[in-house]
Amino acid sequence: MQEKTKVAIIGSGNIGTDLMIKIMRLSKVLHMSAFVGIDAESDGLRRAARLGVKVTACGIDGLVALPEFSAIEIVFDATSAGAHRRHSDILLKHGKRVIDLTPAAIGPYTIPPVNGDANLDAPNVNMVTCGGQATIPIVAAIHSVTPVHYGEIVASIASKSAGPGTRANIDEFTETTSQAIMDVGGARRGKAIIVLNPAEPPLMMRDTVYCLTGDADTDAITAAVENMVAQVRTYVPGYRLKQPVQFERIGHNSPLRIAEMDEAFSGLKVSVFLEVEGAAHYLPAYAGNLDIMTSAAMRTAEKIALRMAEKVAA
């Protein structure tokens, strides 16, 4: 049996802690070697220490100083877009592969069921955002049937599931997700909105996708969306359609004005309503935003690890 690939996580907040637990419980390919933060009293670092993972509260510099660092091959960054730029430079200089869970977007956008195999040799891959991971597969599914003139997504997550890093990156979230809707989803224009829902008890992650297309086969679009949902569910079991795909025909006599494009649109409006229930590896099941992001990152890391092993064997 192939030896597991050693990995480290930088960022001891909600996303990093959920990812650590997920890797330790589920991955047959990855081994947790180090967990990195900047607050020695953070719940994530204390939990990692209890689980027997090597920890440091000295950030990236502390990671590089660990004896375990030389054997680590893949490093996940779950900090912030600003911090990731420095982290990436240091890690790439040391020959590490980097998986970016911030909206920094230094490396290529990666959405597992859409372009998951395209970037396995990239030194740094970007996992977009939780909203992007949930919605861009749907935009891409619709685009596989008919060109998408405009794609807009609204991601609503429980306020309790958004830690300081997420809150500090709201602008980057919208910009990165909007760009990935175009670059990966295939839309001519993209827009992203995030809502931190303060409701009590906390609500599960909800995502709405609106796409404007030309006249197209609605049955084919529905089939493509349902097939894509099934693909995402292979690694995020709590991902599901909340209701059947909705269609609205917009006639030439009453076109829809798209302010961002300064254009009038007539054709087909496709609406898809999603819910993401988390696996509750760290926060409760309402935190589907953690689950879809960390699941996508782990799936990507496992594919990269297998690709690296194939190259060594060859």
Pick one of 1.10.3720.10, 3.30.390.10, 3.20.20.70, 3.40.50.720 as the CATH number of 5-127+291-313.
Answer: 3.40.50.720
Asked if residue 1 has pLDDT above 70, the reply is no
CATH 3.40.50.720: which residues of the chain?
5-127+291-313
Which residues is 192 bridged to in the sheet? 153
Where in the chain is CATH 3.30.360.10?
130-286
* Tokens 């798209």 sit on residue: 258
Cβ(74)–Cβ(95) under 8 Å?
no
Across 144-164, average pLDDT: 96
CATH code of the domain made up of 130-286: 3.30.360.10
Q: What percent of the chain has pLDDT over 90?
A: 92
Residues 238-286: tens digit of each pLDDT = 999 999 999 999 998 999 988 888 888 999 999 999 999 999 999 999 9
- The whole-number pLDDT of residue 121 equals 96
Q: For 46-76, what is each residue's pLDDT tens digit?
A: 999 999 999 999 999 999 999 999 999 999 9
Which of 63-72, 110-119, 180-189, 251-260 comes out lowest in average pLDDT?
A: 251-260
Q: Which of 68-77, 144-153, 164-173 has the lowest mean pLDDT?
A: 164-173
Which residues are known to be catalytic? 130
